Amino acid sequence: MTTCTCSDTWIIRKSKRESQVRLFCFPYAGSSAEIFRDWPRELPTDVEVSPVHLPGRGRRSREKPFTELLPLAQASAAALSPHLERPYALFGHSVGAIIAFEVARELRRTGMPLPLCLFVSACRAPQLTFTRHRTHDLPSAELIGELRRLNGTPAQILDSSEMMQFFLPIIRADLQMIQTYSYVAEAPLGCPISAFGGSCDVEETPELISAWREQTSSSFQLQMFAGDHFFVHSEHQHLLRTIAQQLTSVTSLDWSST
């Protein structure tokens, strides 16, 4: 049962009296919190889905998007901090996975509790280079061609010059974030990490994704799904079942010890 709606610039969440864990979700490059719109009704009632609204898109489209990942992670962590009074988990897809990872590290630096689980999807481990494929500064036609190849942007958007005029600056900013990201080694996180990949994703391979195990001193799981880089859509029901199962296994943990 929904008891109230809590809102700020970064997060709109509907509090569920029966929820045991809050799931903060970070979108992939060029997208917004809207991609998680169906998750609240498709996940169990004990999971409260809280998509993170990043600047430059959706209801924050008038704001300038971040072009550096670490400042975005720091701002996101500050925004999440008031909402960590109950157990929580982080999910991020592609660029969102690295944002979620750096948010977890920033929360640790500031003495906040760690997530019950960090879910990283369609993304190689952060200690592996992200600079070898630089696409954020490609000419528009070439960048649109790259987006077609990745198969994550609807054709009706790619074919519309008006819509691409709006979306390309957001996409470029997000790609610049990840392609200029510089990983700095720190101690592994003390929370479990669960990594997901697409079996047909030719860039984010199981070997690259499995390297996330180095980022946790707790348990690590790797699960591959049918589909390409955007299995988050094509296999979303299977993905949500997996997330629900894994959250169920950790919600019995003692929150005070995490």
How many percent of the chain have pLDDT more than 70? 85
Burial of 32 (0-12, 13-18, 19+ CB in 10 A): buried
Question: Does the pLDDT value for residue 188 go beyond 60?
Answer: yes
Active site residues per annotation:
94
pLDDT the model gives residue 152: 59
Structure confidence by residue, pLDDT tens digits, 122-177: 999 999 976 556 776 677 667 767 777 766 566 667 767 777 777 788 888 888 89
Q: What is the pLDDT of residue 189?
A: 98
Percentage with pLDDT > 90 across the chain: 60
Q: What does the pLDDT read at residue 115?
A: 97
At 102, the pLDDT band (50, 70, 90 cuts) reads very high
* pLDDT at res. 256: 40
Alpha helix (H) ranges present in 11-160? Answer: 39-42, 69-80, 95-109, 140-150, 155-158
Q: Residue 87 pLDDT more than 50?
A: yes
Asked if the model's pLDDT at residue 12 lies above 90, the reply is no
Helix axes 95-109, 69-80, angle to 10 degrees: 60
Give the closest residue to 36 by CA, choosing from 55, 13, 17.
13
Average predicted confidence (pLDDT) for the chain: 86
In terms of CATH architecture, what is 2-252? 3-Layer(aba) Sandwich (3.40)
Q: What are phi and psi of 214, to 5 degrees?
A: -70, -15
**What pTM was estimated for this model as a whole?**
0.88
Lowest mean pLDDT among 23-37, 44-58, 81-95, 119-133: 119-133
Paired residues of 93 in beta bridges: 121
